[in-house]
Amino acid sequence: MLLIHCPYCEEDRSELEFRWAGEAHIARPENIAAISDEEFAEFFFLRNNEKGLTYERWRHIHGCGRFFNAARDTVSDRFLMTYKAGLPKQPIPVASKAAAIAEEKTVETWEATEGDAR
Amino acid sequence: MSSSSNSGEFRIKGAGRHTPARTARFTFDGKSYTALEGDTVASALLAHGVHLLGRSFKYHRPRGILTSGPEEPNALLDVSRDAARRQPNVRATVQEVFDGAKIASQNRWPSLKYDIGAFNDMLSPFFAAGFYYKTFMWPREAWHKLYEPIIRRAAGLGEAPKEADPDHYASRYVHCDVLIAGAGVAGLTAALSAAATGKKVILVDEQPEVGGALHFDSSTVIDGQNGFDWAQAMAAKLKAMPNVTVLTRTTVFGYYNHGFLALVERVTDHVALPGRDLPRERLWQVRAKKVVLATGSIERHMVFANNDRPGIMLASAARSFLNHHGVAVGRNVGVYTAHDSAYEAAFDLKRAGVSIAAIVDSRSHPGDGVLAEARALGIDVLTGHAVTDTSGRLRINSITVTRNGGANARKIKVDALLISAGWTPSVHLFSQSRGKLRFDEANQRFLPDIYAQNCISVGACNGTDDLADLIDEAIAAGGGAAVVSGENRFEWTGGMIGAAEGAGPEDAVKAFVDFQHDVTAKDIRLAVREGMHSIEHIKRFTTNGMASDQGKLSNMHGLAIASEMLDRPIPQVGLTTFRAPYTPVTYGTLIAHSRGDLFDPARKTPMHAPEAAEGAEFEDVGNWKRAWYFPKRGEDMHAAVNRECRTVREVGGVFDASTLGKIEVVGPDAAKFLNLLYTNTWDTLKPGKSRYGIMTREDGFIYDDGVVGRLAEDRFHVTTTTGGAPRVLQHMEDYLQTEFPHLNVWLTSTTEQWAVIAVQGPKAREIIAPFIDGLDISNEAFPHMSVAECTIMGVPGRLFRMSFTGELGFEVNVPADFGAAVWKAIWERAQSMGACLYGTETMHVLRAEKGYIIVGQDTDGTVTPDDSGYGWAVSKKKTDFVGIRGLKRPDLVREGRKQLVGLFTKDPKDVLEEGAQIVADPNQPKPMTMLGHVTSSYWSETLGRSIAIALVAGGRAKMGSTLYVPMADRTISVEVTDMVFFDKEGGRING
Amino acid sequence: MADFAMPQRVLPMTGFHGGSSVVRLEPAAPAGRISLRAKAEDVSALSGSLGVDLPTRPKTSASANGRTALWLGPDEWLVIDESESGLMTAAANSGVLHSATDVSHRNTAILISGPGAEAAINTGCPQDLSLSVFPVGACSRTLFGKVEVVLMRTGEEAFRMEVWRSFSDYAFGLLSEGAKDAAL
């Protein structure tokens, strides 16, 4: 079970108090009524679902109730940082990035365990 | 209590740590035995010379006790206190004997000694690895009728109890600075070191008392004291410290993300008469800043022909039985080893008066120390030899010994054989923490390498065998200063993995690798020959390591045999991943309190008790208990609902609407915010008025609906569906916080602040009038869709003029703690005027008669406001709202979309089934083209016929046409109609 | 208007009692409550008119004049008034931008006290409740088993658990189990 740092409560709390809320930094177009079908699809339906470093939204739903942003490595589940909603995409501190990369190596992945059996 | 003299003829006087006078009686397969307190079932039975405990899973081969710990693959028994407190597949080496225990063997019929299933052993050439995958492929039809039922009957070990579990289980969250898994020398030392710094420490061990390997290792001296005694003294010292918790009989079974660990504490399984307050087990969910793994190592068996007979066991297990339990595992014992440590078992037994037939060592050069001691004790040592076979049907009676590479075999009589191929570090929890292992080529073992969490391995699980080194390592891990000193008497050397002499690729023998799943060395080789080159595939093909012991003994051997066959080094063949749980965990523990009344919250409205007193039947709506209908004596549901429907339309009815979601939207930008969240327009709504609103998601589909009342310029009372309340608030908060944070408005859930009493019907006004103060509720002053704050029975409340029945209606909102009293007063008056109580079923019928939709029943997440006939609720003037763009998508505006319409069955008595499919031509070939389905269907007492609402492709253009609903036994003809079945002009709500 | 006696307030856990040798469980007395929302610049004006300083640090509370204000989020407080009244008016009198909503009857509360209180709550609450991490006066919205609660530490061995009324049966039931287990 994850331990997540809430940037509003300024404390690490159990994953139980939180709810994941999808990819971060996807702004709703201000002229939404006027955008094309393709632009709408891009905004509403399409997500990158990247493996590794992702920016995502969480809500401290059973805590302070605030939405916030997190940078998480989806391979190791390490949170590189969390920051308040409304802030632009934050750069990852170098030390945390290095730690995350080292940690990724320890994680069992399909490629590592079964990939050679293809 | 019986005397100690009958606690078993294999009990050695003066040996062991149990008190001879403290006995317990138990039965095994109906026969009564006496044990000593502290015995495991295994030690108690061995004390009586009982080695045959069960039959193997596949071949039904006689099996005994292989180990003395949780890694036991063979000795699985059925243990019970009474009919309901019975558990199958209990490890005899873990279960402590308690007075009155009833224990039975498994997987045998008619008896353990004569088991019909053993026929499988003779057929074993046909049951090789992959047998099931290959054999039952054809004929295909035979699978369901023949193969699967037979296999299912034969499969599964043990029999699950059928009664409900009468025990209860506890759970606890706890945080600590350091969690230490394992309380052997390393764990205790680390705990002492950490505790001295004042840190909050939790020390956990799966055995009844601390000590780990000191249970069997009688030679270790620590701080000048016998190792086991030292361990108990240290445990007492730790327990006395306020910052330390010592949990014994507790297993760390899972090591998850971010320092989260799950522990199970076995509280009563060893107690004869547990107190009723005691939970059987307690689940500990621990968040630890740091974890010290001191999980030790597990001895491996030797892989050779017929290595599975009762009486063959690990050398360390025999030492535990002797040194801890005071039991000799035989009178004439042989040893077969590839490691020095097994010699210790022979020495201990010899000193206790047991004859040692021989030590057979596969190595040519064992350690000098052990050879010298064997010589001094007069024990025969055959170096460079192998045990190439064994005999004895229900218990070993001899071994066949052959010089390595030689041909001449000779038989040696034994009644027990102790085996050891060396020690496998217990890296299970390290691996679960996502740490990465490295292969220690010199010692043929996997050891912790890269850590993924704040965790450190110490002692045997880290490959540290020397006691002085181990203690230094543990002190450092604990972060404190030196507290302990000790030394080994011997260096432990040697060890092997893989098949031993005589069980090679050319030998057609059964040399077991995985005892519980009957996997032999031959099976592993077959898997490789069949093309499995990854250990993950070999594992699944052979089921090696997939039994409930999860391969604690077998994984390394399986890997070595595969590596040899593949001619690839072990690290390249790979190691299967260890997963939680480390040992089996009961469902009771995982569920803990979540059963019975605490399975899920049962939410009750403030009027629940008086409604129940009026005879209400309740239905579950989400977690809510809602009054469903109120049967009078002799009425079934149908009769009650018909009466309620009639009475509401003719006189009036009282309905509990408290569960509807309520959100207070407050702030100067409240109307602006609602404009963005609903399809309707809100800035034109005047204070004191309310409006039905529809909420769509960004994709244009209906998300929720409800009436919204404006109490003041800056305050709205929003209602949502009962089930939608939490997600609607989440949806609104999401937009408010992240898309429209510039708006000055706040949202508060008030669902439970208000008890809501709906009073509907021609006499509704007359019923509530006397209770209302400070408000003119005449039709002129307070018309349909009005809202006001007023005083209701002396308490401040909110009154809505609204209707979900099509009748004149009000919804009385009072603060919840007054709900029951106000409800009772209103109901008393309503009753005197001939009105009734009605429940959700009647509400559903009445609203369907009016064509009012229920979101989630008539809509399913693919329905737009226009599809449902509510296109009028979508503002054409607004330049933005959530869903405005989605609603313009080509598929949402195309012709022929499914639309909600009414259906009349040709036979008015036919009531359609909700969910039934609709077609244009019932005679078309299958699969038919389906036009839609029935979403709501009821008997309408008001109309004296059935009514239904359905989603039908191009429905509104099909008015008056005939469609068909094919059912299993017949086809029902229906006519497409308007969705409003009753009072189409809507005059009644303005009464 | 007919002459009706104004009804008595009936709490959802009326008559409940429980606990063990180390934990006392009891329903709290009726109280007035508002959910208060405001921006940082308006906190002092609201504090003035409410007569209690709205805390601005996470996980903290403040009490004065029979009122307790609990920080729940950066712009959210739960204000509890033992006397059951006056909170809405007091907030309105501040004259500053805010949202006050009466939730007096939405919540009900359980008082948990005794040496086993912490352990009893940790039966279902995943937070670290040790005194150094959750000191007297600390408060937080969190989970208790399957329900959301607001937990406040009122003394070294005393907590107040605010819970929505329809979840109070469940919360009291789970606390009773925790209280029993804490006594073992």
Domains in chain C, please, with CATH?
16-29+106-184 (3.30.1360.120), 32-103 (3.30.70.1520)
Model confidence band, residue C3 (pLDDT cutoffs 50, 70, 90): low
Q: Please report all neighbours of A, defined by 3+ CB atom pairs within 8 A.
A: B, C
- Cβ neighbours of residue C177 closer than 8 Å, sequence gap 6 or more: B168, B170, B593, B598, C123
**Residue C1, pLDDT above cutoff 70:** no
Domain B4-121 has CATH 3.90.1570.10: no
Interface test with B, best of A11, A18, A19, A32 (most B CBs within 10 A): A32
Q: Measured between beta carbons, which residues in chain B are less than 8 angstroms from residue A57?
A: 738
Q: CB–CB of C124 and B594 under 8 A?
A: no
Burial of C111 (0-12, 13-18, 19+ CB in 10 A): middle
pTM for the structure as a whole: 0.94
Q: How many domains does chain A have?
A: 1
Rounded to the nearest angstrom, the minimum Cα separation between C76 and chain A is 8
Q: Is A11 on the interface with B (CB under 8 A)?
A: no
User: What are the φ/ψ torsions at residue B578 (nearest 5 degrees)?
Assistant: -80, 135
* Across A105-114, B204-213, B354-363, C41-50, least confident range: A105-114
Calpha distance A102→A108 (Å, rounded): 13
- b/e sequence B748-762, b meaning 16+ C-beta within 10 Å: bbbbbbbbbbbbbbb
| Token pair 């699967």: residue | B148
- Cβ neighbours of residue B926 closer than 8 Å, sequence gap 6 or more: none
Bridge partner residues of B288 (DSSP): B176
Give the one of A8, A11, A16 whose C-beta lies nearest to C74's C-beta.
Answer: A8
Which structural domain range is residue A15 located in?
A: 3-109
Q: Please report all neighbours of C, defined by 3+ CB atom pairs within 8 A.
A: A, B
- Cβ neighbours of residue B243 closer than 8 Å, sequence gap 6 or more: B195, B198, B199, B200, B201
Calpha distance B132→B154 (Å, rounded): 13
ipTM of the complex: 0.98
Q: CB–CB of B752 and C105 under 8 A?
A: yes
Question: How do beta strands B416-420 and B332-337 pair?
Answer: parallel
Give the pLDDT of residue B147.
67
Q: Is A40 on the interface with B (CB under 8 A)?
A: yes
Calpha distance B626→B657 (Å, rounded): 9
**Residue B738, pLDDT above cutoff 50:** yes
Q: Is A14 on the interface with C (CB under 8 A)?
A: yes
Q: Measured between beta carbons, which residues in chain B are less than 8 angstroms from residue C10?
A: 606, 817-818, 820-821
**Residue B978, pLDDT above cutoff 90:** yes
B169-297+425-487: CATH number = 3.50.50.60
Rounded to the nearest angstrom, the minimum Cα separation between C146 and chain A is 10
Q: Which residue of B has its CA nearest to C98?
A: B667
- Which of 2.40.30.110, 2.30.110.10, 3.30.70.2740, 3.40.50.620 would CATH assign to domain B893-991? 2.40.30.110
B21-63 residue pLDDT tens = 999 999 999 999 999 999 999 999 999 999 999 988 888 899 9
Average pLDDT over residues B325-353: 97
Q: How many Cβ atoms sit within 10 Å of the Cβ of residue B636?
A: 10
* Across B494-508, B581-595, B870-884, least confident range: B494-508
Q: Is B699 on the interface with A (CB under 8 A)?
A: yes
Q: Measured between beta carbons, which residues in chain C are less than 8 angstroms from residue A16?
A: 126, 143
Q: CB–CB of C7 and B793 under 8 A?
A: yes
| Backbone dihedral region for residue B653 (phi beyond 0: left; psi -120 to 50: alpha; all else: beta) | beta
Helix (H) or strand (E) holding B793: none
- Cβ neighbours of residue B220 closer than 8 Å, sequence gap 6 or more: B185, B214, B226, B227, B467, B486, B488, B489
Interface test with A, best of B455, B737, B746, B876 (most A CBs within 10 A): B737
What percent of chain C has a predicted confidence (pLDDT) above 90?
Answer: 95
Q: Which residue of A has its CA nearest to B261?
A: A1
Could you say which DSSP state residue B739 is in?
Answer: I
Q: CB–CB of C142 and A10 under 8 A?
A: no
**Residue B364, pLDDT above cutoff 60:** yes
Give the one of C101, C104, C127 whose C-beta lies nearest to B815's C-beta.
Answer: C104
Q: Is A46 on the interface with B (CB under 8 A)?
A: no
Helix (H) or strand (E) holding B857: none
Q: In this structure, what CATH number is given to the domain that contains residue A7?
A: 3.30.2270.10
Rounded to the nearest angstrom, the minimum Cα separation between B173 and chain C is 5
Q: Measured between beta carbons, which residues in chain B are less than 8 angstroms from residue A55?
A: none
Q: Which residues of chain A have pLDDT under 50?
A: 114-118
Q: CB–CB of C7 and B794 under 8 A?
A: yes
Assess if residue A100 is contained within a domain. Answer: yes
Give the pLDDT of residue A96.
76
Please state the length of chain A: 118
Calpha distance A8→B659 (Å, rounded): 32
Give the pLDDT of residue B492.
64
Query: Of C35 and B109, which is predicted with more confidence?
Result: C35
**Residue B211, pLDDT above cutoff 60:** yes
Rg (CA), chain C: 17
* Helices B368-377 and B341-351, packing angle to 10 deg: 20
Chain C contacts to A (CB-CB under 8 A): 58-59, 72-74, 76, 126-127, 140-143, 148
- Tokens representing B553 are 């003994």
* Across A76-80, B383-387, C92-96, least confident range: A76-80
Give the pLDDT of residue B4.
43
Q: Is A22 on the interface with B (CB under 8 A)?
A: no
B240-296 residue pLDDT tens = 999 999 999 999 999 999 999 999 999 999 999 999 899 999 999 999 999 999 999
Q: What SS3 class is residue C10?
A: coil
Model confidence band, residue B926 (pLDDT cutoffs 50, 70, 90): very high
What percent of chain B has a predicted confidence (pLDDT) above 90?
Answer: 87
Give the one of B577, B741, B885 whose C-beta lies nearest to A86's C-beta.
Answer: B741
Q: What SS3 class is residue C1?
A: coil
- Cβ neighbours of residue B728 closer than 8 Å, sequence gap 6 or more: B661, B663, B695, B703, B704, B720, B721
Q: CB–CB of A66 and C72 under 8 A?
A: no
Calpha distance B18→B26 (Å, rounded): 17
Interface test with B, best of C3, C13, C99, C129 (most B CBs within 10 A): C99
Q: CB–CB of A9 and C58 under 8 A?
A: yes
Domain spans, chain B = 4-121, 169-297+425-487, 608-648, 893-991
Q: Measured between beta carbons, which residues in chain B are less than 8 angstroms from residue A66?
A: 737
Give the one of B172, B598, B822 whose C-beta lies nearest to C170's C-beta.
Answer: B598
Q: Which residue of B has its CA nearest to A37?
A: B889
- Report the candidate in C40, C99, C53, C80 with the shortest Cα–Cα distance to residue C160: C80
Q: Measured between beta carbons, which residues in chain C are less than 8 angstroms from residue A64?
A: 58, 72-74, 76, 141
Model confidence band, residue B133 (pLDDT cutoffs 50, 70, 90): low
Q: What is the rounded average pLDDT for all residues in chain B?
A: 94
Query: Of B116 and B466, which is predicted with more confidence?
Result: B466
C135-156 residue pLDDT tens = 999 999 999 999 999 999 999 9
